[in-house]
Structure 1
Amino acid sequence: MTAPDLRPLVLGCLAALALSACKPSAPQEPSAPAAPATGSYAQAHAGDYATVPLKADLSHLDERTQRMVAKLIQAADLMNELAWKQNWGGDRAALLAQAPDEATRELVTLNFGPWDRLNEDTPLIPGIKPRPPGAAFYPVGMTKEEFEAAALPDKTSNYTLLRRDATGKLVTVPYHVEYKAELERTAALLREAAELSGDQSFADYLRMRADALLSDDFRPSDMAWMDMKTNPVDIVIGPIETYEDQLFGYKAAYEGLVLIKDAEWSKKLARYAGYLPALQRGLPVDAKYKAEKPGAKADLNAYEAVYYAGDANVGAKTIAINLPNDEEVQLAKGTRRLQLENVMRAKFDAILVPIAKQLIAEDQLPHVTFDAFFEDVMFHEVAHGLGIKKTIDGKGTVDEALKDYASSFEEGKADILGLYMIDALAEKGELDKAKLMDNYVTFLAGILRSVRFGAADAHGKANMLRFNYFADAGAFSRDANGRYRVDFDKMRAAMNSLSGKLLTVQGDGDYAEAKRMTDTLGVIKPELAADLAKLKEAKIPVDIRFEQGLDVLGLTQYATPATR
């Protein structure tokens, strides 16, 4: 999912009086009632999402395990409530009441607020102001300068909110305090699921994760999650991604995903994780930018997703996961890479293939394959483990140095190093070298898919930057009909040079260069905009939305009365 950001919590000591005076502040309320309209924005964008049933074969799971899956889905579902609080922060019912039609209400609900995540955060309701870059993590009107000047030791924690006390002074409020009611319900469901687990390591993890939600101390449960090897069911739950915080990139958003492991596919993928140390040594960059040693015990597995909630279900849906993002856990144990094969296939069939038919040179269309798409995505996630996590000057982590550019540069690094890994493994004979062109052409088609997410999305920014870098390097050409053709040799050279550039920016913690590259390369130029307009005219979806839940999976008989 892209890559979430989990760091250890450093809680500051707040006086009880200060905490009692903290009042949550919404990012904004609707500025004026929206007048009914015909031909609303939402109606015009009704085709942006392809609807996909989120199903999986659960017949191999016994009744007790299916009951556990139902509990996990109920726990994940509570992340939707927290996503609304973190994204909008105001009165949801009042907001929805201002929607001019049902299509707008549906799109607002899908976006957990009145901004279109697939279209540069365009307001969905008349009278709504632009989306605050800090979402509801920070008070309305707080400036960066005010934040930097505040003497609050835990202000940069992933798990604190910034609020104002009765005197208007900035204070921090821990997540587990602000969201106590929802988190206690979630923790209870995780503990109930643990009692149903036939896998002891998974049961232990669920109990540890329940404790973590109530304390904001996630490192112990992250370590336990990395040690699990035999669990047939998994859940990713908690405050994970920091993409929603476009002000600083500090604050994590709550999400939940429930997954069923594909044991056979996972066996096929497992061997690739062991190549990380050798691939790290071969990175096309000076030795000091690859001095860290990635964990060689990282897992690479395939799953079918059965439920998305909260931040995972807003805007563009992730098709693979690389966790945890706690740098200390990564250095000690590596990461786990989870490929969501059913969602990946849905996007390939409904979106990538139609895009390729519109924009890829006809003689290169046979090179757009699902196997290549799967590998491109898989090695993107593996590549999050390459490079460097701490700046070479010893002044902190890459995330801390690059701030609001950290997410897009990490995604860009993973994208380009994923292709580097495929190329390197093909040269070693571990992948079919004869099919390498498939990976390059499918990679280009994947860029054309992801740039449609726009500049408000970390993946969109990363893809636009890479697209323009490749264009300047002649990695592909565009014919008079607006079709793109890969130049294999030039694209390989551009891949290596961009890999070195991104790794250097991260290692140096060069915020100014990250900003310069984003400002100059992270933009959609008129020619590409015209080509992307063809995709809209052809009614090709931008992303997918799910029909999901206990009823879709046939598990409603296991729902508790409160969630039926």
Structure 2
Amino acid sequence: MKLKVMPLLLALTANAAPLIYAKDAAPKSTESQAKLPDIKGLEAILKRFKAVELKVDLSKFPESEKKALAKMIQASQVIETIYFRQIWSGNEAMKDSLAKDNSALGKARYAAFMLDKGPWSLQDDHKPTVPGAPHKPEAGTYYPEGSTKAEIEAWIASLPAAEQASAKGFFTVVRKDAAGKLKLVGYNEEYKPEIDTAAKLLKEAAALTTQPTLKDFLNKRADAFLSNKYYDSDVAWMKLDASIEPTIGPYETYEDEWFSAKAAFESFITIRDEAETAKLAKFSAELQGLEDNLPFDPKFRNPKIGALAPIRVVNSIYSAGEANRGIQTAAYNLPNDEKISAEMGTKRTMLKNVQELKFENVLTPITRIALAKKDQAKISFESFFTHILMHELMHGLGPSTVTVDGKTVTVRDRLQNNYSALEEAKADVSGLWALQHLIDKGTLSQEMEKTLYTTYLASSFRSVRFGLNEAHGKAVALQMNYLLDAKAFVVAKDGTFSVDESKIKGAIKDLTGELLTIQALGDKTKADAFAKKYMVMNPKIQAVLNKLTHIPTDIRPIFTTADELLKTYK
């Protein structure tokens, strides 16, 4: 069935039913009704995301695999409930209330709420879109309401070493006991009803599939949900070799803006593109050579990176939780567990159909406005796709730990609130450096250099539109401002941008070295200074963004194939 987005906006009125929330979910403070977007404002928010269908041909799949896929999609829907709860304690109650409001305004608010998985517009500095929304919590619901970052830091520091590791771990929340004392609670306890249901569905999917490594991963991930111990299932996921590539569980830490420690639930259900995966396999063999040549002090380079670095090119049929909120993920590099990364490397997954839709519907139209005429023909999907791949590969290279006072701690732990944005910036610019290194080496064609940097520039405008309240948007602002200062990006009198080919390579190498050094030293002071200087909106960039308002910021997926599977295999 072909679904259409926003028919509800064709005949909207200003009348809306009152919102009702559960008593314990009532927000402490609300924004004035006058500040909320009206019908036209909500329509503008939704129009930024172009509705596109995600279709994948499953005609050659046996019934057993289609049935297993349906179970995985159902499990994904369950874990999305957890994700809503991780964002804000009142999120579920507000969602349920909005769903019952059949007025035109109520439907519009519900659509905006579901787009951003909460009552704030992620592209508008988290401004509220729904009455009753408090200021967005900086650290979701991972820590007790009313607590402060300093309070949590002091409590963690008071714990024995083993408990400190758990407190800083991905899979626990901090709560207060009956006496008001802080304590740790595992995800398997905090989200028990949903965890139990999702585990059951994954077990059922495992029983249906005939693919051994897929069966192994699904069983072990179900066990991990129940035990809160994810190591074995992460290993199984790294070894997964099947036509179906599910990624489901708690992974990214963007929502924890205090410590970048707690993992949000998400899911990608994808189908492997065998031909494209085979084409990119050669990059795995290049990783140690890239690590050995990273442009910073050689003493920080890793002489032996993880041996296994699988690259998967897939087509997405369904995503949920963190994976389907606002800006759509184009690729990912997981797991984030430094132990797995050290032992096995990480897996890079490229969502090819998602990237094609972004290139066609967003990047290409931006090029005609943002770039100088002489550069507008110098973009290509190959450069776009390959840079995204290299971005994900570079997440696995460079420093991940640092020694402080004789103790080994993670870079994430040292840089805290600025870790995610700096890591995204590092992956972007070191990815460009790496591609140039491979071009110079002869591994990649010299032809790619003709489109590599202009495609990157156009894509930077695409990404900086994500906003400076989001790690990727901050990261791109940092890069663009640095490269403008280095005169590697040039602004013409008409406001269009171009690349200075004589300066771009050196500037990219320099920025790569600076970011890697900050990470290698765990230098939070330098990280904070870098963020303050470069993670800002430059007026020259803003002037171009002002001309892009008619171009979608991103895509909004309609899961056509997934819907068909759920209808067929209820």
TM-score, length of structure 2 as denominator length: 0.90
Amino-acid identity (%): 37
Does residue 326 of structure 2 align to residue 315 of structure 1? yes
| Cα distance in 2 for residues equivalent to 1:95 and 1:238 | 22
The answer as to 2:357 corresponding to 1:346 is yes
**Aligned equivalents of 1:296 and 1:171: distance in 2?**
38
| Contact kept? 2:91, 2:118, Cα under 8 Å | no
The aligned residue for residue 293 of structure 1 is: 304
| Distance in 2 between residues matched to 1:343 and 1:306, nearest whole Å | 10
Q: Is the contact between residue 27 and residue 140 of structure 1 (CA under 8 Å) also seen in structure 2?
A: no
Question: In the alignment, is the contact (CA less than 8 A) between 1:51 and 1:546 conserved in 2?
Answer: yes
* Distance in 1, Cα, partners of 2:26 & 2:307: 43
* 2:451 is the alignment partner of 1:471: no
Tell me which residue corresponds to 1:90.
90
| Cα displacement string for residues 167-198 of structure 1 (whole angstroms, at most 9, x for unaligned residues) | 33322221110101101111111111111222
Residue 269 of structure 1 corresponds to 280
Letter in 1 for 2:411: V
- Aligned residues of 1:55 and 1:553 also touching (Cα < 8 A): no
Matched, 1:523 2:536: yes
Post-superposition Cα deviations, 1:403-437, rounded to whole Å, max 9, x if no partner, equal 11111111111111111111011111111112212
Task: From the superposition, tell whether residues 198 and 30 of structure 1 become closer, same or farther in structure 2 (CA, over 3 Å).
Answer: farther
Q: Is the 8 A contact 2:89 2:141 kept in 1?
A: yes
Letter in 1 for 2:78: L
Q: State how far apart, in whole Å, the 1-side matches of 2:433 and 2:564 are.
A: 38
**Structure 1, residues 239-260: CA drift from partner, whole Å, max 9, x if none?**
1000011122111100011010
Structure 1 residue 275: Cα displacement: 0.5
Q: Structure 1 residues 264, 550: CA separation in 2 closer, same or farther (over 3 Å shift)?
A: closer
SS, match of residue 297 in structure 1 = coil
Q: Deviations over 1:188-216 (max 9, x none)?
A: 11111111222111101110100111122
Give, as a single letter, the amino acid of the residue that structure 1 aligns with 2:507: A
2:387 paired residue among 376, 395, 401: 376
Q: Which amino acid counterpart does residue 206 of structure 1 have in structure 2?
A: L
For 1:348, the aligned partner's letter is F
Q: 1:213 to 1:26 in 2, by over 3 A?
A: farther
1:184 maps to amino acid:
D
Specify the code of the residue in structure 2 equivalent to 1:139.
P
Q: Give distance in 2, aligned partners of 1:400 and 1:129.
A: 28
How far is the alpha carbon of 1:486 from its aligned partner?
0.5
- Return the alpha-carbon distance in structure 2 between the equivalents of residues 477 and 94 of structure 1: 47
Take 1:216 and 1:117, find their aligned partners in 2: how far apart are those partners? 30
Cα distance in 2 between the residues matched to 1:243 and 1:346: 24
Q: Which residue of structure 1 aligns with residue 498 of structure 2?
A: 485
Cα deviation for residue 345 of structure 1 reads 0.4
Q: Which residue does 1:108 correspond to in 2? A: 113
Q: Which has the higher contact order (CA 8 A, sep 6+)?
A: 1
Change (3 A) 1:503 1:94: closer
Q: Which stretch of the first structure deviates more once superposed, 385-394 or 519-528?
A: 385-394
Which residue is equivalent to 1:242? 253
Displacement, 1:262? 0.4
Q: 1:330 to 1:31 in 2, by over 3 A?
A: same
Question: Which of 163, 179, 182 is matched with 2:191 structurally?
Answer: 179
In 2, distance between residues paired with 1:37 and 1:277? 51
Tell whether the 8 Å contact from 1:55 to 1:552 is kept in structure 2 after alignment.
Answer: no
Structure 2 residue aligned with 1:129? 134
Aligned partners of 1:73 and 1:549 also within 8 Å: no
| Distance in 1 (alpha carbons) for counterparts of 2:94 and 2:69 | 34
Is structure 2 residue 44 aligned with structure 1 residue 44? yes
Given residue 109 of structure 1, which amino acid in structure 2 is its aligned partner? M
Q: How many residues align?
A: 533
- Corresponding position of 1:78: 78
Q: What is the one-letter code of the residue matched to 1:480? A: K
Unaligned runs of 5+ in 1: 1-23, 560-564
Distance 1:105 1:453 in 2: 21
Q: What are the residue-to-residue correspondences of 1:486-501 with 2, within 5 Å?
A: 486-501=499-514
Question: By how many angstroms is 1:443 displaced?
Answer: 0.7
CA contact (8 A) 1:54 1:552 kept: no
Aligned partners of 1:500, 1:404: CA distance in 2, in Å? 21
Q: What amino acid is the match of 2:553?
A: V
Give the root-mean-square deviation of aligned CA atoms. Answer: 2.0
Q: 1:138 aligns with which of 135, 143, 166?
A: 143
Map residues 142-291 of structure 1 onto 2, 5 A cutoff.
Answer: 142-150=147-155, 151-152=158-159, 153=163, 154-228=166-240, 230-291=241-302
